[in-house]
A = this chain, B = another copy of it.
């Protein structure tokens, strides 16, 4: 299909498609006899993925590129590719951690060990969690890594099935795409469900006042 049809099918403007091509997020179409680029279903799917990562995941172009690079190298073991994708979603803190964040980070590491959750060195999520714990404490909330045991028990129940589902895809690109979409959309959905629960709880409390 031509770029105009690709745009109509994916809902992404031609200008944006050209930008993603220049930025290397999207592979070029096949040159046809008339010297026009010819696009296929993979391009439609990839464009939808890019838009979802930007619109729903709030990712920058650089982060989308980092996450998608993991889909390309077929020699990377699957677990490492998934790691690259997950780590690409988050950012490592740029400045040196303050004392309270460093203390919270040690707690998070001990907590991960106690749960027997193996996380790659340098993964951003433990740092991020430590920052959040330190921030809660600055606001006077009593907070500890072990507070998240209930949440961890809950998400752990479905995590393996989710990873297995992604790995069951016919090829690596589909596997990594599935993992990315699953992660970004389901975590966003969890946030929305949580907000709904809080609003519903607030309403109930008003009724019983």
Contact = CB atoms under 8 A, between A and B. Distances in A.
Tell me the number of copies of this protein: 2
Contacts of A150: 154, 158
Interface string A42-63: 0001001100100010100000
A17 interface: no
A198 B86 contact: yes
Nearest to A194: B155
Interface stretch (A22-30, A32-40, A67-75, A119-127): A119-127
B135 A206 contact: no
A202 B83 CA distance: 8
A142 B164 CA distance: 16
A136 interface: yes
A152 B83 contact: no
Interface string A108-125: 000010011111100101
A1 interface: no
